[in-house]
């Protein structure tokens, strides 16, 4: 088993593709290693809360069947790479049926080895292309996630992804998809093309070619290339590239099918699988008032079409990556039902509870929690995970102030949605085994596996988290 676990040191990628790749760059990218990571936006706990908040979407869209049914939950991570996110998802919900697949067999070997060492019996990993996975015998999924896939594969592969979603997602099921946003990347697209051209022309090894080409672009900027004066956003993206892991550069920039999208374009493609846009997994969408001028907010509020509204928002916010939620046959709920569900949602701290801030600075100025809401939330979180209903009952604080305070603190990363108490208790034994397996080796390549599984948050917690806080989040290593 120790020999099996060491496979994890060798490879990981966030990119999945199929065997019909049009150029040598794509084939090399598909087999190139990538840093292990965990993405909270792919977890049921985070998606449950984001959809419950209804951020950036259609008013009144209810929870998908995935989060409102007592039936066994099944999810699939398309292009799972090393599999850290689906493994954590499986560890924190032993009753769920968790799947992941990737084109690279070494990635799947690594994920399978870790699941075996940790005794995770409810996770299945397959070496498959999009096309071959379509024919695999699988459950019908409540949730399917794609991170780092949609903007980086060919139109033919995207069609196969739509076929998977149409065939394998339950009615009422949810899809999470991230993709490069056209407004954020518009000025940097020529730079991405130049990096690909450089590597193709030099025949470079991908990591070396990525580094050398980014350095050359920086030299162009230093020499006074007018492109960066005309396109200041490109300079910001270049600054990030200069400090990025070469493995990130390879997977972000060097695929031959790098594509940017508007929200409406992605929605049009996914409508072919029977999906409708339901909102954003990014909770910052709930706080446009802190980021946008009153004129911009008024303009957004005047647009009824949710996809056009998101397209307009992107012109103001220029995000690089969108994190969107789509639902097959979405259901409607009343405002009263939504409020009741929000009141029962539990939260926990991801930082020291006694340091919970009251004042926050945003681009449009400062904002503060009311003194009553701050005191009530702080007192509750010091004691442990709590719901808004528990906080209100203990303090008689106004409902709106507590709900908005919890949402704001979640947005800045001080709080996280927490699993129901019964789920946390049921997950403890399996998360202990999983974290012990991670703690049994210190390196993944030249770096530690960066996250432990928390039976409280239902997601991953950084290894760098203070030990006392890790313990409060149910992590024992």
Residue 146, strand partner residues = 78, 177
pLDDT at position 5 is: 32
pLDDT at site 287:
85
Alpha helices in 179-245 (DSSP H): 182-185, 189-202, 206-222, 226-230, 232-242
Per-residue pLDDT of the chain (477 residues; tens, 9 = 90+): 333 333 333 333 333 333 333 334 444 555 555 566 899 999 999 999 998 887 766 655 666 666 666 678 999 999 998 899 999 999 999 999 999 999 888 889 889 999 999 999 999 999 999 999 999 999 999 999 999 899 999 999 999 999 999 999 999 999 999 999 999 999 999 999 999 999 999 887 888 999 999 999 999 999 999 999 999 999 999 999 999 988 889 888 988 899 999 999 999 999 999 999 999 999 888 888 888 999 999 999 899 999 999 999 999 999 999 999 999 988 877 888 888 989 999 999 999 999 999 998 888 888 899 999 999 999 999 999 999 999 999 999 999 999 999 999 998 899 999 999 999 999 999 999 999 988 876 555 445 678 999 999 999 999 889 999 999 999 987
Pairing of strands 141-146, 123-127: unpaired
pLDDT value for 110? 87
Q: What is the pTM of this model?
A: 0.90
Other CB atoms within 10 Å distance of the CB of residue 301: 10
Residue 7 exposure: Cα atoms within 13 Å on the Cβ side: 20
Residues near 132 by beta carbon (within 8 Å), at least 6 away in sequence: 18
Report d(CA 86, CA 298) in Å as an integer.
40
CB 385 within 8 A of CB 258: no
The pLDDT of residue 438 is: 86
* Share in percent of the chain as helix, strand, coil (round to 5): 50, 15, 30
The residue behind tokens 């998908």 is 64
Name the nearest CA neighbour of 319 among 424, 175, 185, 457.
185
| Per-residue pLDDT at 246 | 87
In 3D space, the residue among 270, 323, 81, 75 whose CA is nearest the CA of residue 163 turns out to be 270
* Beta strands per DSSP E along 112-157: 123-127, 141-146
Domain ranges of the chain: 2-181+261-328, 184-253, 352-412, 421-472
Maximal CA-CA distance, the chain: 68
Question: What's the confidence (pLDDT) of residue 422?
Answer: 93
Give CA–CA dist 194/23, Å, rounded.
16
**What CATH architecture applies to the domain 2-181+261-328?**
3-Layer(aba) Sandwich (3.40)
* Whole-angstrom Cα Rg for the chain: 22
Question: CA 47, CA 54: separation in Å to the nearest integer?
Answer: 10
For the beta carbon of residue 371, count every other beta carbon within 10 angstroms: 11
């Amino acid at each position: 088993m120790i020999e099996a676990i060491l496979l994890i040191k060798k490879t990981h990628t966030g990119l999945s593709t199929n065997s019909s790749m049009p150029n040598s760059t794509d084939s090399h990218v598909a087999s190139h290693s990538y840093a292990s990571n965990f993405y909270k936006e792919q977890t049921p706990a985070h998606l449950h809360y984001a959809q419950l908040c209804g951020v950036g979407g259609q008013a009144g869209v209810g929870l998908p069947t995935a989060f409102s049914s007592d039936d066994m939950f099944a999810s699939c991570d398309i292009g799972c790479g090393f599999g850290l996110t689906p493994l954590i998802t499986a560890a924190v919900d032993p009753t769920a049926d968790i799947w992941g697949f990737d084109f690279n067999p070494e990635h799947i070997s690594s994920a399978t080895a870790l699941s075996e060492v940790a005794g995770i019996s409810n996770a299945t990993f397959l070496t498959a292309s999009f096309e071959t996975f379509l024919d695999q015998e699988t459950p019908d999924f409540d949730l399917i996630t794609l991170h780092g896939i949609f903007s980086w594969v060919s139109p033919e592969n995207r069609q196969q992804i739509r076929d998977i979603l149409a065939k394998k997602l339950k009615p009422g099921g949810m899809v999470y998809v991230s993709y490069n946003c056209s407004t954020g990347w518009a000025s940097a697209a020529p730079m991405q093309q130049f990096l690909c051209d450089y590597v193709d022309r030099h025949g470079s090894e991908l990591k070396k070619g990525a580094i050398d080409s980014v350095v050359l672009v920086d030299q162009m900027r230093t020499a006074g290339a007018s492109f960066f004066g005309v396109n200041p956003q490109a300079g910001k993206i270049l600054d990030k590239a200069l400090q990025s892991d070469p493995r990130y550069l390879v997977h972000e920039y060097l695929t031959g099918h790098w594509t940017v999208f508007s929200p409406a374009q992605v929605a049009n493609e996914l409508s072919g699988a029977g999906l409708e846009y339901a909102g954003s997994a990014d909770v910052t969408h709930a706080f446009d008032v802190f980021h946008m001028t009153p004129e911009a907010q008024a303009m957004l509020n005047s647009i009824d079409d949710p996809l056009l509204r998101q397209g307009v928002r992107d012109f103001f916010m220029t995000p690089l990556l969108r994190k969107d939620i789509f639902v097959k046959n979405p259901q409607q709920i009343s405002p009263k039902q939504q409020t009741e569900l929000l009141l029962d949602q539990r939260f926990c701290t991801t930082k020291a509870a006694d340091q919970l801030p009251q004042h926050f600075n945003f681009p449009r100025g400062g904002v503060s929690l009311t003194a009553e809401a701050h005191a009530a939330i702080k007192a509750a979180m010091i004691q442990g995970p709590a719901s808004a209903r528990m906080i209100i009952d203990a303090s008689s604080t106004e409902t709106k102030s507590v709900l908005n305070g919890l949402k704001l603190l979640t947005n800045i990363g001080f709080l996280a949605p927490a699993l129901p108490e019964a789920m946390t208790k049921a997950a403890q034994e399996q998360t202990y085994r999983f974290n012990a397996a991670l703690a049994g080796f210190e390196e993944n390549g030249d770096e530690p596996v960066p996250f432990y599984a928390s039976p409280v948050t239902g997601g991953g917690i950084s290894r760098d988290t203070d030990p006392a806080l890790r313990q409060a989040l149910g992590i024992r290593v």
